[in-house]
Each structure stands twice: as structure tokens, then as C-alpha cells.
Structure 1
């Protein structure tokens, strides 16, 4: 049988599949998830991800601290992930029924099709194990590794050889129609337990008050007991919210309709970028450094990450183009905003245990907002964070994400999924990059008996040639880039730009803090 040639020249031999007996009866008192005839409509967003230009996937890599215990992984997946309603269903469309919409239909899960151990050979993995992992995970985005839609759309790839950061690597690939990034990350963490307490679920960081300020969560409420001045201030904030929303919605509509868009730069992908494979690279940075900047600047972690991203992209842009230092340009990122309350880990664990929804809201429910990134050369590195803070606070005073979700839902109902896909395509085609930031557990977690040392999520299948994902876990923050290698042949140099930008911003924040202390 012929070998498959992956990215970077690495040969991907036929995967060794874990054999598993799915014929064993369920323990007494338990209910199996395979029930013929159980159906559920696919959400509008899930239907969007069936369209050719939006066949998007999430790829999440985990570094584990010990060699992978395959029997434990098999048993753990069978008892958790494989029992989740989405992970044991396929999308079915009745072509004989006019105007039929796809449905999720339960099917029997054969883990031989989903748990994959590729035989890369000792030569490939010992010479440069980091590159072997990078090449294999990147190869998942190639056409030759496309998923079979007659099966549940997920796979777990086990790369059981050591790298500098981990004893082994596990990569989970999931079709985006199964859920949004926040829901999928919560589900994965619900499959884990705390390393210091194997019987306890980990705790996700609760969003602080400052992070949840803004109309993405609630409209401003009038003061219960206040004078005329307070009421006037409330009325002004409400009018400001309306004005910002109108401006943002008009800009979003013009972008989606291709009436305005970002100019072509070294950062912006070419037409058809969604069909090209991606190179997945990542870098581990210090979360303590990010928090030190946050505390010194009086902003949020997300503000710092946006500022670091702006600084790094500026370094990369001016190095690649050689343009004058005095120039300043603006590029825009499509930022996905989760609008559904994140499912609780206990509820998700119970869902997998029972194989039923149990009233837990699941799927894709998100809106988009367009976030500008300013590219420039500043003498003061902290200026990137100041500008980022100003932009993000302005965006929090807008209902852009809620409106885009509502309007997309209305377009689907009135004009159909093709019209919604066309508008979404316009929005991605006329912006430059994608950006996300997810918070993970603060304590170490264990997945199927295997301690996790890092979590690195990313995605592919959309029109952007550059996607940035930030993921915090314990005391680190993982930066994952998904790049079109034809556009970004120097992805590791771009990672270096992020490392250097954070170093400079951290140093400048320390100096600023010292000046403040001396002044006091």
C-alpha cells in the first residue's frame, strides 16, 4: 500500500488503529447512546460549516507529561467523548424531501475509525521530533487527510514520542459544526480531572467583572435611586451604546457586502486561501509576564494579548516590506464572540455520562465583531497596549456581535443558507486575519490518566491566511498560529516577533512600575 506524503516531506504511513470491542453490553443501569431514529436539527451555524467555503475544523494539540497510556485513553474516550450526543452522530440530509434541512442522527461509534496512532518511524521522530509533530499535525489540513462524513466528525491522533516540551503529543481534530471553540474547549476539559485530586473536575477561571463589562452580556441599567446627574449619565451611556452599535453594524455590513475591505498586504491571504493546507506552529510564553503588564497598565489580559499581537505583526510587516518607519496602517481581524453562556463542566460531564443533552445548550451560537489592529513603529512599546486597550474598550460598548448573530439568523430564515454563506465569505475575504483568546485551567489536569503540560488549539478552513489563537493554562500562555505557508514561509520568525514583543513590553512595564513607585 502506498505511503502518504505529508507537509515538510514527512511520510505518513498507514495509521495503526486501536482495536476496540464495541459489542460489549453497557453496564447494568446505564443507557447506551446508540439509539436508532434519534434526530436533532443542525443549527444554522452548523449548516454554514457544511458549505464548501466554510468546511472549518478545530485542531487542539495536547502535550502530555508521560508516554501515552493507550488502554487508558481508549477507556476514557469510550466513557466520555464518544458518548456525547454530537460525537456519536452524523449529519443526514433527506435529498428526496424538498427544502429538507440536515439533521444530527445517532450512529454507532467505532473507535477504530477515530483513535489513530500513525507509524512515523524512528528516523522521522528522533532526528527532529518537534518538526515531526508539526509536520504531522499540519498534514491534517491537507486534502488527503479529509474526514469521512459518513462517520462522526472527530479524530484523536496519538504521537507517542518525546519532544522538548512533552513526553508525547495528542491532537484532537473536530469539525466546527460540532460546536464553537468555547463549547469544545469546555467539553475537552470536562473529560479531564485535576492532577492533585483525580476525582475532581478542574475549574475554569471565572471572568472578572472588568472582563464582562459591556453590552455583550447586558444592556446598561438605569440607577435605582439617583439624582438627575446620574440619570443623565445613564442616558448618555445608552445613547453612546446605540451610536457605537449603529456605526459598527454599518461597517460590518459594508465589509460583508464587499463594499469596503482591507488592502492587500503581506498579511492578507489571496483568493482561495480556504482550500490550501495550513502550517500549525506554536510558542509557549509566560502568563506571569502577561499579568505583570496587565497590572502595570491597569487593563485586562486580553488587552495585553491584543497589544502584543499588534506589536509583533508590526515588526513582521515592516521587516517583510521594508517600508518607512513613519508609516501607520490598519488591518482588521474577524473576532468570534460566544453569545451562549459557557456550559458548566459538571453539566457536560453528566451529559457524556448519560449520553443525553440533559438540557445543556450545545452547538454554535456566536456573533462576529471586526477588531482593528494598528501596525506602526512606536518608540514606547507600551503604546501598543494603550492603543489595544482603547480599541477593546470601545468594542465592549457596542452590540455588534449580538446584531451580527441575529441578522445572520434572519438571513438564513428569509433567504437561505447560501445567502448567509455569501455574506460570511465577504466578511472573511475583506478582513485580514482571525484572532481568539481562551482561558484554561489554572491547575494541572489529567486526560485519561495522562498529565497535560500544554494546550494548543487552532483552526483551519476559512479564508484568512493567518489565524492567531491564545490559550492560557497553568502559568503559561500558548500562542498557536495557523498560516498559509505559501504566504508565510517564515512562520517561526513570526513566532520570534511575538516573543520579542512580549519581552520588550514586559520590560517597559517594569520600568513604568518602578517610576510609579519612586514617584509615590
Structure 2
């Protein structure tokens, strides 16, 4: 999982060179670098951990502190907290209602009672991360927005096909399709609420009788999918961006963190789990599925990949960016 190579190569800054090779599953780059630095001490003061230069604070000139700008910031801050408070109340109530009685629509991809014990199959497909970044930059959003939009599009196409099996096909357009109206389909996502640790925090964790704690602080959030076919492929992305922006303005995950054990028992492992993992210039889409519910997982992968292609082609054809 990891190894260390010490090279007897003298440089202008050191007597030798150490090279670490660490598997990504052990941690992210920032945390691992902080951990390694926390294991070292300053040459000038062996009791202190190394310091890293921080960003310089922007100097605010007095001209920026006029009454109009100050009042505008004050009003916007009040509006932000009001919106945050309202969204949090709504999301927490919806979360509690879901635990007690509010269920998702019964769809062809909804697991049956006891399906949590069924064997699962893993399938994956690798797509171009550059394609997702192209859409991201053209529409001024994040890769997460694009990934959610592609997922909504792929699921909508897949469900439209499943609903049409054994029936008269009504088409695959926004107005004519096989999808029922107002499908409620939500995903339970994990949110790590623990703030990023620095060098000093990691150094404190290695001391005995420290109050600093290891591990993650995990909360849950319910992410609704809008299942519907769109004639304009970019509508999937716009809807995804609005959904994620709404969730960012809520403290739902902080409150659900305290009822995580109950929530995990309630939601469990579903018939379909989707994971998107980026590395260098590739994005790997991994599906964990219950084959008794989703017998054709590769078809779902095809729908996801085709949805990304349609969205990218729409961006290029409209001249929103240059390849």
C-alpha cells in the first residue's frame, strides 16, 4: 500500500532525497502531505512542526468601505442566513418524513424488500474527463453538476425504455414518452462534514491524551433526481446545477449526522449505486447493481455514456466553447 525510497542524492536544499509512493485509498493528497509533514520537526526548533506559507490577506482600502457597499453586504448576509435557515428546516423535515412514511415512487429500478441481501454485480465504463470539463467550462458550473446532469439524463432514458417494455412505445421525446408524471426518485448521498485538517491538527492527534479526534464526520443528504426526458440535452445540466446549488444552501447533512445510524438502517444499500471517480483525464463510472432488479446494467452504462455525448455535442454545436 505504500513504500519509501531514500536516495543518497545531495541537492542544494538537502543532503538526501526521500520519495514516498502511497496508494490513494489511504488518503487524499493534501491529508497525506500534512500527515508526513506532521511527522517532522523544524531544524531550528525540534519541538515545532514545519510551517507552510499561507496566502497573503488582501488589503482592504477605505474606499471600499462606503455606506452603500456596506449596506448591500449586510442585506445580502441577512438574506443568505434566512435562505439557509428555511432550506435547512424544509430539508430536515423532509428527511424525517422519508424515514417515517414518505416513500419514493415504485419504479423498475426500485429494490424489493430484502433485496439488500441479494448478490451485487459491479460494472464500469471509462469516459473522458475532458468532455465533462468542456461542458463545465462552457456552462460555468462544476464537474459535479455535469455528473449529476448526465446521471439524470441516463436514468431518464433507461427508465423510459423499461416502462415501455411489453407496451406500445409512446416515443422518447419531452412530450411523448413512456414515463409516468411526477416520479419521486431520490438518492441518499454521504457528506463528510469534518473540516480539512492542517499540519498542527495532525501533529496533535499523534500525541497521547489529545482531544483531537481521528476519523470522518459523516452526514446524509437526500438528492432528488428529476426523471423526465428533455428535447434540449442541456436542460439536464441546468436542472442538476439548480438542485446542487439548493443543497449547498442547507445544513441538512449536519443535522442528519446525529441520526446517521437510524438513517443507514432506513436507507440501507439500494438496488443501484452510482460512483464517479476521476483520475488524470479520465472519469470512471461504476455501477453496483442488484441483477434481480436491473438485469441489463451495461445498457444503463450505455445510456449514461450516450447522454454525456449528447450534452457535449449540444455545447459544441451551439458554439458555447471550442474543442
Q: TM-score normalised to the size of structure 2?
A: 0.70
Work out which of the residue numbers 115, 120, 131 in structure 2 matches 1:289.
Answer: 131
Asked if 2 retains the 8 angstrom alpha-carbon contact of 1:281 and 1:482, the reply is yes
**Equivalent runs, 1:62-461 vs 2, <5 Å:** 76=2, 185-186=27-28, 190=32, 226-257=69-100, 259-322=101-164, 324=170, 325=177, 327-328=180-181, 329-342=183-196, 361-405=213-257, 407-408=258-259, 421-426=261-266, 428=267
Work out which of the residue numbers 277, 280, 303 in structure 2 matches 1:474.
Answer: 280
Cα deviation for residue 383 of structure 1 reads: 0.6
Q: Distance in 1 between matches of 2:129 and 2:249?
A: 27
Q: Distance in 1 between matches of 2:138 and 2:163?
A: 33
* CA RMSD across the alignment: 3.4
For the structure 1 residues 396 and 502, does the alpha-carbon distance in structure 2 shift closer, same or farther, using more than 3 Å as the test? same
Q: Distance in 2 between matches of 1:272 and 1:260?
A: 19
For the structure 1 residues 510 and 404, does the alpha-carbon distance in structure 2 shift closer, same or farther, using more than 3 Å as the test? same
For the structure 1 residues 358 and 367, does the alpha-carbon distance in structure 2 shift closer, same or farther, using more than 3 Å as the test? same
SS at match of 2:184: strand
Q: Deviations over 1:118-168 (max 9, x none)?
A: xxxxxxxxxxxxxxxxxxxxxxxxxxxxxxxxxxxxxxxxxxxxxxxxxxx
Asked if 2 retains the 8 angstrom alpha-carbon contact of 1:483 and 1:491, the reply is yes
For the structure 1 residues 515 and 301, does the alpha-carbon distance in structure 2 shift closer, same or farther, using more than 3 Å as the test? closer
- The structure in which a higher percent of residues are strand is 1
Instruction: Pick the structure with greater CA Rg.
Output: 2
SS at match of 2:294: coil
Q: Distance in 1 between matches of 2:209 and 2:296?
A: 44
Asked if 2 retains the 8 angstrom alpha-carbon contact of 1:382 and 1:505, the reply is yes
2:50 counterpart residue number: none
Gaps of 5+ in 1: 1-72, 80-171, 173-181, 192-222, 409-419, 429-461
Q: TM-score normalised to the size of structure 1?
A: 0.45
2:36 counterpart residue number: none
**Equivalent runs, 1:35-74 vs 2, <5 Å:** none
Cα deviation for residue 270 of structure 1 reads: 1.2
SS at match of 1:375: coil
Cα deviation for residue 362 of structure 1 reads: 2.8
SS at match of 1:487: coil
Q: Distance in 2 between matches of 1:366 and 1:224?
A: 42
Cα deviation for residue 476 of structure 1 reads: 0.3
SS at match of 1:271: coil
1:503 counterpart residue number: 309
Cα deviation for residue 183 of structure 1 reads: 8.1
Cα deviation for residue 468 of structure 1 reads: 0.5
1:449 counterpart residue number: none
SS at match of 1:403: helix
Cα deviation for residue 345 of structure 1 reads: 10
Cα deviation for residue 357 of structure 1 reads: 11
For the structure 1 residues 347 and 246, does the alpha-carbon distance in structure 2 shift closer, same or farther, using more than 3 Å as the test? closer
